[in-house]
Structure 1
Amino acid sequence: MESIKEERKLLRYTYLLCIVLFVNMFFIGKSGLDKGALIMGVIICILFAYSHFIIRRFFPDGDKYILLFSNVLAVIGMGMLYRLDSPTALKQLIWYTVGIAIFILVVVLFPSLKKFGKYKYFYLVCTLVLMSLGSIFAPKVYGSRNWIDIGGFSFQPSEFGKLSLVAYLASSLQYYGRNLEGRSEFIKLKGLIEPGIVVMISLGLMVYQKDLGSALLFFAISVTMLYIATSKFRYVLVCLVLFMIGGFISYKIFGHVRLRVLIWGDPWKYGYDEGHQIVQSLISIASGGLFGTGLGLGYPKMVPVVNSDFIFSAICEEMGLLTGFAILILYFLLFYRCMRVPVYSKDNFSRLLAVGYSTMIAAQVLVIVGGVVGAIPLTGITLPLVSYGGSSMIVTFFSLGILQKISEDGQSYE
């Protein structure tokens, strides 16, 4: 009962946040009062109220905070997008609606996920096909080859490839070590050869497509799932050494990898050319200070690709570093709730699936925020639930739906 009260309290705070954001947009409209902001705010409130009602009413078990924290982040993202470009925010609202629908459908329609653990080779084929599509069909966009346009609809195949890669690794590693106690280390390692090759192929394709963010993301997911499946830290160390060797080789062979590292080392040297994005991002964050310039009072549009890759910079500039820290805390809380799910999972496939999707979201946040603030070399990926992007929104809500389904499967979080 106490949990329900806390959920309702957080739901009320989310309504308040949405109202404050979009009422603010109503008053700072370029051509007078912007009624569209109020309409959009009301629609968003209805959507996340409806989604919470369905999940709470018909599926009382499971961790409801997964959906609640996700909605808070989505509200902040759509509010900032409306300030930057209202047509883009309307598109994001559509993707948010689709994402919420997918989340509910996964929870409602999917049977026990344990049954899906036997389709390893289906996930393998999907992974290899999706990872290679960008290399074959994608034109260059900001130097990368990872976006495909079909009938006016653009999507990133590697975004969906993340889903199948996690499912493949979960299916492949679920029986690791079973009936092998007392056997030699070489025999135990044989079960890791095939998934290791698949991961290396995926990483190689991402480096070739100049999608370094996805390469880092896939590595983080694979190493985390490997450790959870085997409980052997030495395997993780071996993977780290191999990753560093591969990174060094990529640095020597691929010019775009070398350029990203050079820009990271001294972004100001390249501030008028290749390093313009990161320099403008750092200036934007610094100009906001702790409390920000105020919505509509900053100049976030001076940062290239601000709607997607650099939306965190825009938020820090106009809402302040404190809001930026608050967003990171929200992601941490979401990750914490997601990582509680595998603790109560009843089978290895569901447990590994939950770990993989939780790591995917957390690693994506760390990689893009780290790049935006200059802590690591910049990589072009979206901030989950906050940045503009249909592929990212759908993939994230599908992953969260799977996590919600696993948490609903016979385990109460009251």
Structure 2
Amino acid sequence: MTKSLRTLQFYIYLFLFFGFLNLALLKKPIDLLAGIFFAVLLVIISVTVRILKKYYPMGDHLIFLLAISLCSIGLIMLFRLDRKIAVRQLVWLVLGIFLFLFIVLYLKKGIIKFSEYRYIFLAGTIIFMAMATFFGVEKLGAKNWVKIGLVGFQPSEFGKIFLILYLASALSDICSRKQLIEPCIVIGISLGFMVIQKDLGTALIIFAIAVTMVYLSTSKTRYVLISLGLFSIGGMASYAMFSHIRRRIMIWWNPWLYVYNESYQVVQSMYAIAMGGIFGRGLGMGNPGYVAVNESDFIFSVICEEMGLLIGFSVLILHFLLFYRSIRSAIHANNNFTKLLVSGLSVMIAVQALVIVGGVTGFIPLTGITLPFVSYGGTSLLISFLALGIIQKVSEGDESERK
């Protein structure tokens, strides 16, 4: 491990130490659970880095450290907001890292072998994209959650992974326009289900993934322009058909007119960010209770209020660096399937971060999605680490990827 990576690892430990020390001292008597959180995270990070260093010394270890930096910021804020939620998130984080290590250590034959399962991925895409349409429950205006007993999850999170795997397989050997017909139909069906479910955030992410992967496989700018045109038409049709979408646009266009009803949560989010200033009001010194859904959709706002815009910008920079390192792995991949797969996964994480941050700051209409690696959400965290495991595996330059 290089000196710079060891330095970054040390700063992560330092950030966690002072963050949880601050939270521990807020309680009278001292909150021992904060110390347990710090110790658990210290062990998780140390063991994972050691495993990566031992078995895959040539891999890009910065990818994991950037992701765990984001998780650290999220866990400190979640612990401050609600200790029960923070405990659940820590459990999901442990499961996510186990999934990450499983992919890295046990996919001995590399990622390329999955290119053969195109129609399995196609079936998975349709099943998970459609599931909430028929079995979902409405939450915050969108019908994108499915509950099985006490467990709830968003099927579209799994659907995005299946779609990326399918597109990577279908687009890896494109030779003619006819071969684009099937992928375009699958993309259209996926977007159609998201529109029906009124899940605008996921629709935007799917569109970004699809356009990126189609462009990378064909290098045709006209396909991008056609896609933008079709997406615009679909957006206008959705605006005309669904009052929920019209309300979101209305709130975004002028939130101050509806500050006491429809746009209350957006305005409170912007107030929170403004009140934090550059350095924040301090952990435990803000008023996150005024911000709705502060543990998931609006966690960026409460981070800015208590930790400041400095940490808020750090979250964006960390996501950008994670995207850069991930795309760098795609560039160095040795076959079209893995190039497209890693590119799609990288775009998924980056666009999701941009969409939610843009929504809570008022730059784009608000969409109910999570901030990758930061927000509370088991499904989102598992999917993010699954994607990270694949990216990490490709960065290691497995010999089978060269065949």
> Which TM-score band (shorter chain)?
over 0.9
Equivalents in 2 of 1:124, 1:227: separation in Å? 20
Given residue 134 of structure 1, which amino acid in structure 2 is its aligned partner?
Answer: A
Letter in 2 for 1:358: S
Is the 8 Å Cα contact of residues 121 and 163 (structure 2) preserved in structure 1? Answer: yes
Given candidates 195, 205, 216, the residue that maps to 1:207 is 195
- Which residue, 56, 59, 65 being the options, matches 1:59? 56
Match of 1:150 in 2: 148
CA distance in structure 2 between the partners assigned to 1:168 and 1:130 by the alignment: 13
SS of the residue 1:145 aligns to? strand
- Corresponding position of 1:388: 376
String of CA shifts for 1:40-77, please: whole Å, max 9, x gaps: 11101110111111111111121110001011110110
3-state SS, counterpart of residue 378 of structure 1: coil
Please name the residue that 2:120 is paired with: 122
- State the identity %: 49
Alpha-carbon distance, 1:409 to partner = 2.5
Q: Tell me how far 1:348 sits from its aligned partner.
A: 0.6
Task: Tell me if structure 2 keeps the 8 A contact 1:364–1:384.
Answer: yes
| Paired position in structure 2 for 1:180 | none
The answer to whether structure 1 residue 258 and structure 2 residue 246 are counterparts is: yes
Q: Partners in 1 of 2:398 and 2:5 — Cα distance?
A: 20
Give the TM-score normalised by the residue count of structure 2.
0.97
1:362, distance to aligned residue in structure 2 (A):
0.3
Give the deviation of 1:399 after TM superposition: 0.1
Is the 2:110–2:398 contact (alpha carbons within 8 Å) kept by the matching residues of 1? no
Task: Report the alpha carbon displacement of residue 6 of structure 1 after superposing the two structures with TM.
Answer: 1.5
Give me the whole-angstrom Cα distance separating, in 2, the residues matched to 1:128 and 1:277: 33
What's 1:189 paired with? 177
Q: Which residue of 2 aligns with 1:184?
A: none
Q: Give the Å deviation of 1:138.
A: 1.2
Query: Any stretches of 5+ residues in structure 1 without a counterpart?
Result: 178-187
Q: Counterpart in 2 of 1:183?
A: none
Per the TM alignment, residue 410 of structure 1 is displaced from its structure 2 partner at its CA by 3.7
TM-score, length basis structure 1 = 0.95
Aligned length: 398
Matched to 1:150, the amino acid is I
Deviations 1:67-97 (A, max 9, x none): 0101111011000000000110000000000
Root-mean-square deviation over aligned CA pairs: 1.0
* Alpha-carbon distance in structure 2 between the residues aligned to 1:347 and 1:370: 34
- What residue in structure 2 maps to residue 310 of structure 1? 298
Question: Letter of the aligned partner of 2:165 in structure 1?
Answer: A
Give the aligned partner of residue 2 of structure 2: 4
Map Cα deviations across residues 131-184 of structure 1 (whole Å, 9 max, x no partner): 01111111111111111111211111001111000000000000012xxxxxxx
Equivalent in the alignment of 2:16: 18
Name whichever of 213-222 and 31-40 sits farther off: 31-40
Q: How many Å separate the matches in 1 of 2:231 and 2:280?
A: 39
Cα deviation digits, residues 201-239 of structure 1 (max 9, x gap): 111111111111000000000001111111111110110
Structure-1 separation of matches of 2:383 and 2:128: 14
**Pairing partner for 2:212 from 224, 246, 259:** 224
Which residue identity lines up with residue 195 of structure 2 in the other structure? Answer: V
Shift of 1:290: 1.2
**Structure 1 match to 2:348:** 360
CA shift, 1:292, in A, is 0.8
User: For the residues of structure 2 that align with 1:247 and 1:141, how far apart are their CA atoms?
Assistant: 21
Deviation per CA, 1:232-277: give whole Å up to 9, x if none. Answer: 1111011011111111111111111111111100111122222111
Give distance in 1, aligned partners of 2:341 and 2:215.
13
User: What is aligned with 2:161?
Assistant: 163
Q: Higher mean Cα deviation, 202-211 or 267-276?
A: 267-276
Shift of 1:32: 3.0
Does the residue aligned with 1:384 lie in a helix, a strand or coil?
coil
Counterpart-to-counterpart distance in 1, 2:179 and 2:245:
32
| Mapped pair 1:140 → 2:128 | no
CA–CA distance in 2 between the matches of 1:222 and 1:328?
23
Aligned pair partner of 2:106 in 105, 109, 117: 109
1:39 is paired with a residue whose SS is helix
8 Å Cα contact 1:61/1:410 also seen in 2: no
- Equivalent positions of 1:239-318 (< 5 A) are 239-318=227-306
Contact 1:225 1:356 in 2 (8 A): yes
CA distance in 2, matches of 1:295, 1:207: 39
Ranges in structure 2 where 5+ consecutive residues have no aligned partner:
none
